[in-house]
Structure 1
Amino acid sequence: MTLDHYSTAREMVAAVAAKEVSARELLELHLQRLEETNPAVNAVVSLDVRRAREQALAADERLARGEPVGALHGLPFAFKDTHEVAGWPTTFGSPLREDHVSRRDDLVVERIRAAGVVVVGKTNVPEWAAGSHTFNRIFGTTRNPYALSRSAGGSSGGAAAALASGMVPLAEGSDMGGSLRNPASFCNVVGLRPSVGRVPTWPTTNAWELTSVGGPMARNVEDLALLLSVIAGPSTRAPMSLETPGSAFAPPLTGGLEGLRVAMSVDLGGVIAVDHGVARIVQAQEAVFSGAGAHVEQTHPDLAGAEEVFRTLRAWLFQHRFGTLLAKRPDAFKQSLADNIRAGADLTGADVARAYERRTRLAERVRTFFESYDVLVMPVSQVPPFSADDEYPTAINGRPQATYLDWMRSAYLITVTGCPAISVPAGFTPEGWPVGIQIVAAPNQERRLLEVAHAYEQLTRYGDRRPRIRQEQS
Structure 2
Amino acid sequence: MNFEDFRGHDAVGLAERVARRDVSPDELLDAVLARMDAVNGRLNAVIATYEAEARAAIKAGLPDGPLKGVPYPIKDISVHMAGKPTGAGSRLFRDLVVENDSAIVAAYRRAGLVLFGKTNTPEFGIATVTEPVANGATLNPWNEAVTPGGSSGGASAAVAAGIVPAAHGSDGGGSIRTPASCCGLFGLKPSRGRVSLSPAGEGWGGLSVQHALTRSVRDSATLLDIACQPQPGDPYWLEPPARPFASEVRRDPGRLQIGFTTDALIWGELFPENVKAVRDAARLCEALGHHVEEARPDVDFQQMALHANTAVSSATAANLENEAARRGAPIREDEVETLTWQIYQTGLGFSGVQVAQAIQHLHALSRRLAAFFERYDILLLATNGKPPQPKGSIDMNAADLSDYAERLYSFIPNTQPFNVGGQPAMSVPLAWTDDGLPIGVQFVARGGAEALLFRLAGQLERAQPWFHKVPAL
Task: Give matches, 1:20-169, under 5 Å.
Answer: 20-59=22-61, 69-82=64-77, 83-169=79-165
Q: 1:270 to 1:335 in 2, by over 3 A?
A: closer
Q: Name the counterpart of 1:450.
A: 454
> Using the alignment, how far apart are the partners of 2:417 and 2:6 within structure 1?
39
Distance 1:37 1:449 in 2: 33
Residues 195-229 of structure 1 deviation map (CA, whole Å, 9 limit, x = unaligned) = 11100111225589321111122111111001000
The one of 225, 228, 234 aligned to 1:229: 225
How far apart are 1:174 and its partner, in Å?
Answer: 1.1
Alignment partners' CA distance in 2, 1:337 and 1:435: 29
For the residues of structure 2 that align with 1:107 and 1:303, how far apart are their CA atoms? 35
Aligned 1:357-372 pairs, distance under 5 A: 357-372=360-375
Which residue of structure 2 lines up, in the alignment, with residue 349 of structure 1?
352
* CA distance in structure 2 between the partners assigned to 1:349 and 1:253 by the alignment: 45
2:255 to 259, 275, 283: 259
Return closer, same or farther for 1:206/1:257 CA change in 2, 3 Å cut-off: closer
Correspondence for 2:416: 412
Query: What is the deviation of 1:176?
Result: 0.7
Q: Which letter maps to 2:196?
A: P
- Which residue in 2 is equivalent to 1:10? 12
In the TM superposition, residue 243 of structure 1 has moved relative to its aligned partner by 1.9
Partner residue, 1:397: none
Pick closer, same or farther for the CA change 1:367–1:69 going to 2, 3 Å.
same
Matched residue, 2:213: 217
Aligned residue for 1:308? Answer: 306
Provide structure 1 residue ranges, at least 5 long, that are not aligned to the other structure: 63-67, 394-399, 470-474
Q: Deviations over 1:314-345 (max 9, x none)?
A: 11211211246585221111111221222222
Structure 1 residues 246 and 390 mapped into 2: Cα distance closer, same or farther (>3 Å)? farther
Q: Distance in 1 between matches of 2:349 and 2:203?
A: 24
Distance 2:177 2:266 in 1: 21
In structure 2, what is the Cα distance between the partners aligned to 1:91 and 1:118? 21
Give me the identity figure in percent: 32
> How far off is 1:348 after superposition?
2.5
Could you tell me which of 170, 177, 183 is aligned with 2:173? 177
Alignment of 1:425-444 (within 5 A): 425-444=429-448
TM-score w.r.t. length of structure 2: 0.91
Q: Distance in 2 between matches of 1:270 and 1:314?
A: 16
Ranges in structure 2 where 5+ consecutive residues have no aligned partner = 325-329, 397-402
Q: Read off the aligned partner of 2:427 and give its amino acid letter.
A: S
Given residue 207 of structure 2, which amino acid in structure 1 is its aligned partner? T
Distance 1:238 1:92, change over 3 A: same
Opposite residue 431 of structure 1, the aligned amino acid is D
* 2-structure distance, mates of 1:319, 1:269: 27
Q: Which residue of 1 is the match for residue 331 of structure 2? A: 328
Alignment partners' CA distance in 1, 2:392 and 2:271: 19
Query: Is this contact kept in 2: 1:233–1:245, CA < 8 A?
Result: no
Q: What is the CA-CA distance between 1:425 and the residue it aligns to?
A: 0.4
- How far apart are the structure 2 equivalents of 1:337 and 1:429? 33
Quote the Cα distance in structure 2 between the aligned partners of 1:415 and 1:331: 31
Matching of residues 374-413 of structure 1 within 5 Å: 374-391=377-394, 402-403=405-406, 405-407=408-410, 408-413=412-417
Q: Residue type matched to 2:448 in 1?
A: N
SS at 1:415 equivalent: helix
Give the RMSD, CA atoms, in angstroms. 2.4
Match of residue 396 from structure 1: none
Which letter does structure 2 place at the counterpart of 1:448?
L
Post-superposition shift, 1:234? Answer: 1.6
2:130, 2:152 within 8 Å by CA — same for their partners in 1? Answer: yes
Distance in 1 separating the partners of 2:72 and 2:404 = 36
SS in structure 2 of the partner of residue 422 of structure 1: strand
- Taking the aligned partners of 1:403 and 1:347, their CA distance within structure 2 comes to 22
- Looking at structure 1, the residues matched to 406 and 447 of structure 2 have their Cα atoms a distance apart, in angstroms, of 29
Looking at structure 2, the residues matched to 172 and 96 of structure 1 have their Cα atoms a distance apart, in angstroms, of: 23
- Give the Cα separation in 2 of the matches to 1:49 and 1:370: 46
Distance change (3 Å), C-alpha of 1:5 and 1:55: farther
Q: Distance in 2 between matches of 1:99 and 1:364?
A: 41
- C-alpha contact 2:204 2:312 (8 A) present in aligned 1: no
SS state at 2:221 partner: helix
Specify the alignment match of 2:399 in structure 1: none
Distance 1:206 1:36 in 2: 37
Deviation at 1:434, TM superposition (A): 0.7
Matched residues in 2 for 1:401 and 1:135: separation?
A: 15
Instruction: Note the alpha carbon deviations across 1:103-160, whole angstroms, 9 max, x for none.
Output: 2211111111121111211011111211111122232111101001110111111111
1:5·1:30 contact (CA, 8 Å) conserved in 2? Answer: no
Cα deviation code 1:376-422 (max 9, x no counterpart): 011111111111133359xxxxxx76456423231112221211101
TM-score by length of 1: 0.90
Please tell me the residue identity of whatever aligns with 2:269.
A
The count of residues paired between Structure 1 and Structure 2 equals: 457
Rounded Cα–Cα distance in structure 2 between residues aligned with 1:15 and 1:379? 36
Paired letter, 2:24 = S
Change (3 A) 1:110 1:418: same
The amino acid that maps onto 1:292 is L
The 1-side partners of 2:309 and 2:81 are apart by 30
| TM superposition shift of 1:350 | 3.1
Does the residue aligned with 1:46 lie in a helix, a strand or coil? Answer: strand
Question: Distance between the aligned counterparts of 1:392 and 1:277, measured in 2?
Answer: 24
Secondary structure at the residue paired with 1:119?
strand
